[in-house]
Amino acid sequence: MHRRLLLLLPAILIFQACGSDNGSADTSPTANDSDAVAKWRREIRKNPDSPALRMHLVDALEEKKNYPAAFAELDSLLQQDSTIALLHFRKGRLQLASGDTSAGIRSLKRALAYAPDNADILLELGYVEANRGDAEALTIADTVISVSKDADLRSRARLLKGIFYSNKGDKASALKEYDASIIDNYTFLDAFLEKAIVQYEMKRYADAQATLDKAQAIRPAEPEIYLWKGKCSQAAGQRAEAMDNYRKCLGLDAGMKEAADLLTGLEKAK
């Protein structure tokens, strides 16, 4: 299972694209609202013509997994202007987050119909297709690589090619693309993590550990780094090191079930 980079869509982009909006979904506070949701509902009641505030509300609703309410907000904005690519993009991301991959792909393609050269939308669709093992991911990645002068965008495109090859079992090609991704952006954590995962799958545990050490230098508080360091140590027979890494992972994110299960298994094996 690969990490799918979720591109961020700042609310200000929606604000710039939408202008004002006079038709709103119901933004009245409810008893089940989180503090963040209630905050944005109050702000919208004071400024009902602000699409940017509405997008903040969508973000807060998504965080609480209140997908129906989030979709209602987006659909309300789309009813005002269905040609705004970034709204279809945001809806597609929300559909993907809710588990509706088919609908998410349709929305992303609809977004591209209105903004065919938008690299963020292209890459989001590319990651979905790469995880599905669809060769369209390679076409999308090569398009971004060929036209973009932005090294970060090229790095992300290389990453999705690596994910595609990894899903197809072509680990040598996957490693080549991850290395190319890192060359374009040496601080791109996802490329280091994906590379380490492939090395782990190839039983190259020392190489994976070295890759994870580089990832740790970039972001020392990333729990997934310690999960994979623990798995590499455990596979190499280094029980104490594995347990230590699983504990570090859980210290950063107590909800990492895989790390908790692996640690429990090692503790019971004493």
CATH of the domain at 159: 1.25.40
pLDDT in the model for residue 14: 44
pLDDT in the model for residue 51: 86
Do 141 and 36 lie in a common domain?
no
Here the tokens at position 43 are 């702000």
| Backbone angles phi and psi of 79, in degrees to 5 | -65, -30
Do 106 and 122 lie in a common domain?
no
Here the tokens at position 257 are 């079930």
Q: Which residues of the chain have pLDDT under 70?
A: 1-33
Whether 191 contacts 175, CB under 8 Å: no
Do 84 and 97 lie in a common domain?
yes
Here the tokens at position 142 are 């090569």
Which one of 128, 160, 185 terminates a domain?
185
Whether 175 contacts 161, CB under 8 Å: no
Nearest CA-CA partner of 68 in 106, 19, 30, 108:
30
Alpha helices in 202-238 (DSSP H): 205-218, 223-235
Do 1 and 63 lie in a common domain?
yes
Do 3 and 75 lie in a common domain?
yes
What's the CA gap between 123 and 221, in Å, rounded?
26
Do 67 and 121 lie in a common domain?
no
- CB < 8 Å & 24+ apart, contacts of 62-68: 62/94, 62/97, 63/34, 63/36, 64/34, 64/36, 64/37, 65/98, 66/37, 67/94, 67/97, 67/98
Residue carrying the six token digits 């680990």: 171
Domain that holds residue 32: 1-114
**How many domains does one find in the chain?**
3
Here the tokens at position 132 are 């599905």
Do 172 and 259 lie in a common domain?
no
Do 150 and 199 lie in a common domain?
no
Do 70 and 129 lie in a common domain?
no
Domain of 259, CATH number, reads 1.25.40.10
